[in-house]
Structure 1
Amino acid sequence: MTTSQEELLPATRRALLHRIAVAQAEGRAPSLVAAVVRDGRAVWHGSRTSMDGHAPDENVQYRIGSITKTFTAVLVLRLRDEGLLDLGDPLEKHLPGTGAGEATIAELLAHTSGLAAETPGPWWERSPASLRTSLSDILGEQPFLHPGGRRFHYSNPGYTLLGALVEKLRGASWEDVLRREVLEPLGLNRTSTRPHAPHAGGWAVHPWADVMLPEPVEDLGLMASAGQLWSTTSDLARFAAFLVQGDNRVLGAESLGEMRTPAAPPETADVASGYAYCLGLEVRHQDGRTLVGHSGSLPGFLACLTASVEDDLAVVVLANCTSGPLLFSVAADLVRIVAEAEPRIPEPWRPMPEVESAALELAGQWYWGTHAFGLRLTADGLVSLEPLSGKGRRSRFRANGDGTWTGLEGYYAGELLKAVRRLDGTVDHLDLGSFVFTRQPYDEGAAVPGGVDPDGWRGTGSF
C-alpha cells in the first residue's frame, strides 16, 4: 500500500497533523504516529515525537496489545467457515481438559464466557512467560467469575484459549498459523510477534514530572494470542482495509460483517457510552458515527484501530507510552475531520442488470396492520422493507432463489419473507415470520388472521 499525501486536501492534512500534535503534546507521549485509510488504501500518515527530532514513519513498529485479539478472531472465523467448528460448540469438544470447556467458542470471542479478566499469577504483562507454562497457569483453580453468556466481562485468558484452539485444530503454532493465513496473504510484512528494527521503545511517563522510565518488554508466551503482536501504521492500514472490505483469501465480507455485529450484552456503563463488543471487534458510537475496531495497550505502548464503514474511512493511531493520550478520541476525531472536510462521494446510481417480474410485482407500499411500509428492489439484488415514516422494524433481505427472501439484519434477521398467492396467481399478502403485510390497511380481500370486520372502517357517527 502506497501512502499518497496528495490525496487529501492541504487543509485536511493540516487539521489531521494539528490533532495528533495536540494529542502528543497534551498526552505527553514520547512519540505518536497515525494513518488514515480511505477507499481501501492509506491516504495520509503523520507523526510527532519529542525524542531526537527524527519522527517515526509508517514502517516503525509499535506494540499493538489487544488489537492482536482481532487477528486471533479472524483465525477462529476461518475455522468456522471451513466447517471445522461451530461457534456454538463448547470448547471441550475441540480442546478437552482445559477446565473451562463449558464455555462456547462464541462466548470466548465475545468475552461473555464468564472467565476472569486476568491470570491468577503475577502481572502477566510485566512478568516472564516462564511463569505461565500451561493453560492451568493461565486459568487458575477457579477460572470463572460469572455465569456463561450472561454478561460482558473482558477476558485475556479467554483469547489465550482461542489461540490454543487454533493450534489444536491446525496442528501448528498460533504464530505460524497467523503468518501463513493472515499476515502473508494481506502483505503485512512488518507485523510480528517480536520487534524488528526499526521499532519504538516503550516508556512510562511520570504522572507528576516530565521524566520517563523505560518499560520492560516481556514475551507473553501462551498469552501471545491475546496481545503479543508488534506492527506499523502501514501494516495496520492494510489490515483496517481488510476488516472493512474483506478478502476471500483470508475471510469474506459476510463473515467480517458478522465479526462487526455486537454479540455481547452491554454493561450499564457501556450502554451510556455507546460501547458494545462483537466477535473480536469493539463498536463505539461517536459524533453520530458507528466506529468499529479495537484498542490495545501493554506497558509502554498504546494502540487504536477504528473504522467508519459508512464513510469508508479507517484510522490507526499508535503511541509508545503506558498512559497519556486517549487514542480512541484521537482516532474518532481523525475520522470526523476527513469525513466532514471531504465527505465520501457516492457511487453513481445504476439500474439493476435484470429483474424478475414476480419480484417487481411486490415493490411498493404495504401495510402491517395500519403501519405503512415500503418494499424496494435494489441494484445489489436485495429487497429492503422499511417504515415510510417514523421508527420501526426495517431490514434488507437476500433472495433464496425460490421466490422467498431471508432477513439480513435487525428484528427480521434470519426470518423468511414470502409472497402468498391466490389460486389465480395474484398476490394476496406478504408473510414475514407469520406477520401479514397487505396492500391496504387490513385489506378485506386478503387472508388476515382474525379476519376483518365486515362493516369495514367507520367514523365517529358509527360508535
Structure 2
Amino acid sequence: MAAATAAALTGASSAAARDVAGFDVALQAAFDGAETPALGGMVVGPDGAIWTGAKGVRQVGGAAVTADDLWHLGSNTKAMTAALYGRLVDKGQASWSATLGEALPDLPMDAVWKDVTLARVMAHRAGLSDATALGQAWLMTARADPAALPEQRRALATTMLASPPAGTPGAFAYANSNYILIGAIIERITGASWEDAMRTELFEPLGINTGGFGAPDGHQPWGHVGGQAIDPSGPVTDNPAALGPAGTVHMSLQDYGRFLRVFLNDGAGWLTPETLAVLMQPVGESQPPYAGGWIVPPGQPWAQGACLTHDGSNTLWYASTWVAPAIGKAFVAVSNDAQRGRSACQALIPGLIPAI
C-alpha cells in the first residue's frame, strides 16, 4: 500500500471515529438530562444507518437496551403508509389525482367527499375529525372486534364518510382518521390487509427484517406510563390494530434507516423520483406545511434547505425524526416512555446534528 493511500485511509478512519464519539457524547448528554428508562438514536446516510446508539433499560429494573432493539414508531408510520401508496402509483395500480369517490366507488358517502383528493387526505386537509369514528366508544370496544382488520377499516371509512365533513375542508386538522382511510384504500387496491401490503411492498423490498405491528414482544423494550413498564402481552399496550396505517409500526433503528434512505436517494430504486417529489411536496397554503406523512419546514440553515420531520407516540413510546435530503442525512431519536422521553428525544437530535 502506498504511503499516501495509507495516510488517507488513516485520516478517514480517524474522522469516522471522531464522528461516532460526537454522536455518543450527544446521546449520553440527552439521556443524562432525562428520566426516561431508555433513549436511542441514529444518524442515517445515503446507504442507511451510519451510527446507532442506545442508553438505559428495556424496562424499569430490567436489562439494558441495545442498539439492535425494536422501537415503536407511532405516527411516524404515516410516512410509510403514504410511501406505500406511492409504491402502488409507481406500479400503475393507483393515481395521485384520485378522489375519494374514485378510490372508494362502492362506499356510501356524502356527496361533499366524492371530489376530495387523496393528496388532501394525506395532508390532513380533507375535513376529517377523529371524533367522527374514533371516539371513546370505539376505543373501548375495538380491541375485541372479531372482524378482520380490512373489514374494520372499511367500517370506519363508512362511518367517516357517511356525513359531511366535521372539520373545514382545506384547513389543516391532524387526525389519525386520514391515514386509516388511506389504509382502507390500499386494502381495496391490493386485496390484502394493510399489514400484508406493508410486508410485501415495503418491508421486503427494502430489506426490513424486523418490521412488525403493535408493541414489540419478546426480549425487547417495553413502553412506559408514569414510570411504570407496560407488559406487551397485556390488553392495552398499543392503539387498536385497526389504527395501524396511522401509527402501529415497530422495527429496529437499522431497519428504520433503510426506509429513511429512500428520501436521501431519489427513491433508492424503490420509488420513482417523481413519486418521491409528490410525497415531499406540502399540500395547501396554511400552516403547517404537511406532505405525505411529513411536516416540511422550509429554509433550515443546518440542512441547507427544506427538511422532513415528524414525531410519533402511542402514549407509551416516543419517536422523533428529521430528514435533510440536501445534505444526505437523517436523524432519529426514540424512547420507551412517551411522557419522560419526549424532551430527551427532542434534545438528542440537535445534539447529533453538529457531530456530522
Which 5+ residue runs of structure 1 have no aligned equivalent? 1-5, 206-210, 271-275, 340-463
Deviation at 1:246, TM superposition (A): 4.1
Counterpart in 1 of 2:100? Answer: 91
After superposition, where does 1:254-265 map in structure 2 within 5 Å? 254-265=274-285
Aligned residue identity for 1:37: V
The counterpart of 1:305, out of the listed 321, 324, 333, is 321
After superposition, where does 1:394-433 map in structure 2 within 5 Å? none
Deviates more, 1:315-324 or 1:77-86: 77-86
Counterpart in 2 of 1:174? Answer: 194
After superposition, where does 1:52-67 map in structure 2 within 5 Å? 52=61, 54-67=63-76
Q: What is the DSSP-based 3-state SS (H/G/I as helix, E as strand, rest coil) of the residue aligned with 1:45?
A: strand
- CA offsets per residue over residues 240-285 of structure 1, 9 Å max, x none? 1122214465312332122112224333xx4xxxxx2112222235
Aligned residue identity for 2:64: A
Distance 1:242 1:279, change over 3 A: same
Aligned residue identity for 1:110: A
Counterpart in 2 of 1:200? Answer: 221
Q: Report the Cα distance in structure 2 between the residues aligned to 1:213 and 1:187, rounded to whole angstroms.
A: 31
After superposition, where does 1:281-360 map in structure 2 within 5 Å? 281-284=294-297, 286=300, 288-289=302-303, 290-324=306-340, 325-326=342-343, 329-330=346-347, 332-339=349-356
Q: Report the Cα distance in structure 2 between the residues aligned to 1:329 and 1:76, rounded to whole angstroms.
A: 29
When the two structures are aligned, how many residues end up with a matched partner?
A: 321
Q: Matched residues, percent identical?
A: 24
Distance 1:311 1:127, change over 3 A: farther
Deviation at 1:138, TM superposition (A): 6.0
Q: What is the DSSP-based 3-state SS (H/G/I as helix, E as strand, rest coil) of the residue aligned with 1:283?
A: coil
Distance 1:252 1:68, change over 3 A: same
Q: What is the DSSP-based 3-state SS (H/G/I as helix, E as strand, rest coil) of the residue aligned with 2:210?
A: coil
Q: Does 1:44 align with 2:51?
A: yes
Distance 1:114 1:219, change over 3 A: closer
Asked whether the equivalents of residues 204 and 299 of structure 1 are also in contact (C-alpha less than 8 Å), the reply is yes
- CA offsets per residue over residues 115-150 of structure 1, 9 Å max, x none? 1145442187786433694215863865623332x2
Q: Report the Cα distance in structure 1 between the residues aligned to 2:140 and 2:22, rounded to whole angstroms.
A: 37
Q: Report the Cα distance in structure 2 between the residues aligned to 1:127 and 1:299, rounded to whole angstroms.
A: 19
Counterpart in 2 of 1:161? Answer: 181
Distance 1:141 1:105, change over 3 A: closer
Asked whether the equivalents of residues 61 and 197 of structure 1 are also in contact (C-alpha less than 8 Å), the reply is no
Asked whether the equivalents of residues 334 and 345 of structure 2 are also in contact (C-alpha less than 8 Å), the reply is no
Q: Does 1:237 align with 2:257?
A: yes
Q: What is the DSSP-based 3-state SS (H/G/I as helix, E as strand, rest coil) of the residue aligned with 2:220?
A: coil
| Greater strand share, structure number | 1
Asked whether the equivalents of residues 302 and 318 of structure 1 are also in contact (C-alpha less than 8 Å), the reply is yes
Deviates more, 1:249-258 or 1:39-48: 249-258
The counterpart of 2:247, out of the listed 227, 231, 247, is 227
Over aligned residues, Cα RMSD in angstroms?
2.8
Q: Does 1:251 align with 2:271?
A: yes
Counterpart in 2 of 1:145? Answer: 166
Q: Report the Cα distance in structure 2 between the residues aligned to 1:7 and 1:130, rounded to whole angstroms.
A: 56
Q: Does 1:121 align with 2:132?
A: no
Q: Report the Cα distance in structure 2 between the residues aligned to 1:181 and 1:120, rounded to whole angstroms.
A: 28
Q: What is the DSSP-based 3-state SS (H/G/I as helix, E as strand, rest coil) of the residue aligned with 1:27?
A: coil
Counterpart in 1 of 2:4? Answer: none
Asked whether the equivalents of residues 59 and 233 of structure 1 are also in contact (C-alpha less than 8 Å), the reply is yes
Deviation at 1:38, TM superposition (A): 2.2
Q: Report the Cα distance in structure 2 between the residues aligned to 1:284 and 1:126, rounded to whole angstroms.
A: 36
Q: Which has the higher contact order (CA 8 A, sep 6+)?
A: 2
Aligned residue identity for 1:115: L
Counterpart in 1 of 2:121? Answer: 108
Which 5+ residue runs of structure 2 have no aligned equivalent? 1-12
Asked whether the equivalents of residues 36 and 344 of structure 2 are also in contact (C-alpha less than 8 Å), the reply is no
Asked whether the equivalents of residues 333 and 346 of structure 2 are also in contact (C-alpha less than 8 Å), the reply is no
Counterpart in 2 of 1:35? Answer: 42
Distance 1:86 1:35, change over 3 A: same
TM-score (norm: length of structure 1): 0.62
Q: Report the Cα distance in structure 1 between the residues aligned to 2:321 and 2:139, rounded to whole angstroms.
A: 21
Distance 1:105 1:8, change over 3 A: farther
Deviation at 1:338, TM superposition (A): 2.9
- CA offsets per residue over residues 134-188 of structure 1, 9 Å max, x none? 215863865623332x211112111101001001011111111111111001111
Aligned residue identity for 2:65: P
Asked whether the equivalents of residues 304 and 316 of structure 1 are also in contact (C-alpha less than 8 Å), the reply is yes
Structure showing greater radius of gyration is 1
TM-score (norm: length of structure 2): 0.80
Distance 1:245 1:174, change over 3 A: same
Q: Report the Cα distance in structure 1 between the residues aligned to 2:62 and 2:326, rounded to whole angstroms.
A: 37
Deviation at 1:312, TM superposition (A): 0.9
Distance 1:26 1:163, change over 3 A: same
Deviation at 1:29, TM superposition (A): 1.0
Asked whether the equivalents of residues 110 and 277 of structure 1 are also in contact (C-alpha less than 8 Å), the reply is yes
Q: What is the DSSP-based 3-state SS (H/G/I as helix, E as strand, rest coil) of the residue aligned with 2:97?
A: coil
Asked whether the equivalents of residues 332 and 349 of structure 2 are also in contact (C-alpha less than 8 Å), the reply is no
Q: Report the Cα distance in structure 2 between the residues aligned to 1:123 and 1:265, rounded to whole angstroms.
A: 35
